[in-house]
Amino acid sequence: MNSPLRGACIIGQSGGPSSVINSSAYGVIRTALDSEFITKVYGANHGIKGVLNDRLLVMDEEDPEELERLLYTPSSALGSCRYKIADPDADDTDYKRILEIFKKYDVRYFFYNGGNDSMDTCNKISKYMNKVGYDCRVIGVPKTIDNDLFGTDHCPGFASAAKYIASSVMEVSRDSQVYDVGMITIIECMGRHAGWLTAAAELANTMGDGPDLIYLPEVDFDMDKFIADVAKCYKEKGNCIIAVSEGIHYADGRFVSEAETSATDGFGHAQLGGLAAKLAAVCKEKIGAKVRGIELSLLQRCAAHCASGTDINESFLAGKTAVEAALEGATDVMVGFECNRENGYECKTKLFELSKVANFEQKLPVEWINEDKNGVTEEFVKYCLPLIQGETPMVKENGLPHFCNLKKVFAE
């Protein structure tokens, strides 16, 4: 264990936001502000681009009570980016600039809050600083509703989206069964390559209002099988609720959302309305039922009003642990979770090597997909249910969320 460095820290956020990415940022900011070793806490405005552009927000200038609202404020409060940093061996321009900024502000701690790509950025910066001999501790703070980061039991952000999806599926399920004429309802969830979020619809079945069928990107999609599955369910129950991942694809790799189908030829363009509407049109044509396609869209990743209390607490913990670990000498790692579900649910933080995390997508285990490839097993429910427990501490005013509004004072 190394002794703490004295110097400033930067926290940046990157990639698509979530309901709780700010809880993690707050975990970093609060812990860093409270540290006697960290002299200044900067927020990079729009992730690594904020560093490159010398746009650093001074967190020390923010009101502590307002900062605390970050716990339940969705989206990336510091601003995000989707900037892919070059390989330093190919082009080290960005790295030189980052080093320049780090030196300018005496930055000895760099925390990066994001998903796969962000962990890659983190890893590259860490390696570069080590190579040039600049003493700086670099730690990744995970975030992704997609839940696809390697090593960690689960990712901050996933559970809140999962809770929103399960709650919404329950509500839509009730809504779509009021008439004595049945309906086929298709609910499209995010997850381009991993089916975690769509699988979360299954949690609704623990309360008796869940989906009948679930289709994930881990399995090749077969339109004829899909139509047969839906037709069978609709015939038996007079109703059918289906959760589909935006990333379902045919065996040849084409996304169903982008490929043409007989039912949507000519107007099934992926840009317009997307997969749920398309599959609904197919069901209408082939099965002749009343249909409804619902795309949960951005709502599922920003519905802070329905966030998981467990997710908020764990997200904060991930940020807090990142600072504590960095103070103790850790670098080039990502904070993740190790969980035990044997007697209740226990979640501990654990550090993972960034090089092992970066650029690897953790998919839903195929053993958790049922034999018919149209649902998930009880194992998934056991895994996921503990994560969505507890409610948000969100403060409301006038019946609406009172989100954090930062002053955003830029460093000179």
76 lies in the site for its own copies, by CB under 8 A: yes
Does 167 help bind its own copies (rule: CB under 8 A)? yes
Q: Which are the contacts of 373, defined by CB distance < 8 A and separation ≥ 6?
A: 215, 219, 225
Query: What does the alpha-carbon distance between residue 404 and residue 65 come to, in Å, rounded to a whole number?
Result: 9
- 127 by Cβ neighbours in 10 Å (0-12 / 13-18 / 19+) ranks as middle
Query: How many residues in the shown chain lie near its own copies by CB under 8 A?
Result: 76
396 near its own copies (CB under 8 A): yes
For the CB of residue 224, give the shortest distance to its own copies in the complex, in Å.
21
Tell which positions 276-315 bind its own copies, by CB under 8 A. 277-278, 281, 284, 292-299, 301-306, 308, 310
- SS3 of the chain: the string is CCCCCCEEEEEEECCCCCCCHHHHHHHHHHHHHHCCCEEEEEEECCHHHHHHCCCEEEHHHCCHHHHHHHHHCCCCCCCCCCCCCCCCCCCCHHHHHHHHHHHHCCEEEEEEEECHHHHHHHHHHHHHHHHHCCCCEEEEEECCCCCCECCCCCCCCHHHHHHHHHHHHHHHHHHCCCCCCCEEEEEEECCCCCCHHHHHHHHHHHHCCCCCEEECCCCCCCHHHHHHHHHHHHHHHCCEEEEEECCCECCCCCECCCCCCCCCCCCCCCCCCCHHHHHHHHHHHHHCCEEEEEECCCHHHHCHHHCCHHHHHHHHHHHHHHHHHHHCCCCCEEEEEEEECCCCCEEEEEEEEHHHHCCCECCCCHHHECCCCCCECHHHHHHHHHHHCCCCCCCEECCEECCCCCCCCECC
Among 96, 131, 237, 269, binds its own copies (CB under 8 A): 269
Report 342-381 residues binding its own copies (CB under 8 A): none
Question: 199, 381 in Cβ contact below 8 A?
Answer: no
Told to judge if 265 belongs to the known catalytic residues of this protein, a careful annotator would answer no
When asked if residue 88 is in the footprint of its own copies (CB under 8 A), the reply is: no
Residue from 391, 393, 395, 407 in contact with its own copies (CB under 8 A): 391
Binds its own copies (CB under 8 A): choice among 91, 103, 228, 267? 267
Q: Minimum Å distance from CB 302 to its own copies?
A: 4
The residues in 2-61 that bind its own copies, with binding defined as CB under 8 A, are 13, 17, 46, 49
C-beta of 55: minimal distance to its own copies in Å?
A: 9
Measured from the CB atom, is 165 or 317 closer to its own copies? Answer: 165
**Among residues 20, 98, 166, 197, the one that binds its own copies under rule CB under 8 A:** 166
Residue 138: strand pairing partners: 110
- Pick the catalytic residue from 120, 146, 148, 311: 146
Q: Does residue number 170 form part of the binding site for its own copies (CB under 8 A)?
A: yes
**Binding-residue pattern over the window 115 to 154 for its own copies, x denoting contact by CB under 8 A:** ----------------------------------------
Site for its own copies in 245-264 (CB under 8 A): 264
Of 23-31, 105-113, 167-175, 325-333: span binding its own copies (CB under 8 A): 167-175
Q: Minimum Å distance from CB 177 to its own copies?
A: 7
CB of 160 to its own copies, least distance (A): 11
Please give the structure tokens belonging to residue 162: 């999962």
Q: For residues 308 and 175, what is the distance between their CA atoms, to the nearest angstrom?
A: 23
Taking the complex as a whole, the smallest distance from the CB of residue 396 to its own copies amounts, in Å, to 7
Nearest approach, Cβ of residue 269 and its own copies (Å): 5
- Cβ of residue 238: shortest distance to its own copies, in angstroms? 12
Of the candidate residues 172, 184, 199, 322, the single one contacting its own copies (CB under 8 A): 172
Using CB under 8 A, which of the segments 317-325, 346-354, 362-370, 395-403 binds its own copies? 395-403
Residue 65 binds its own copies (CB under 8 A): no
318 binds its own copies (CB under 8 A): no
The verdict on 182 binding its own copies (CB under 8 A) reads no
Judged by CB under 8 A, does residue 193 bind its own copies?
no
Instruction: Identify the residue among 65, 224, 251, 271 touching its own copies (CB under 8 A).
Output: 271
- Is 247 in contact with 255 (CB distance < 8 Å)? yes
Task: Provide the annotated active-site residues.
Answer: 146
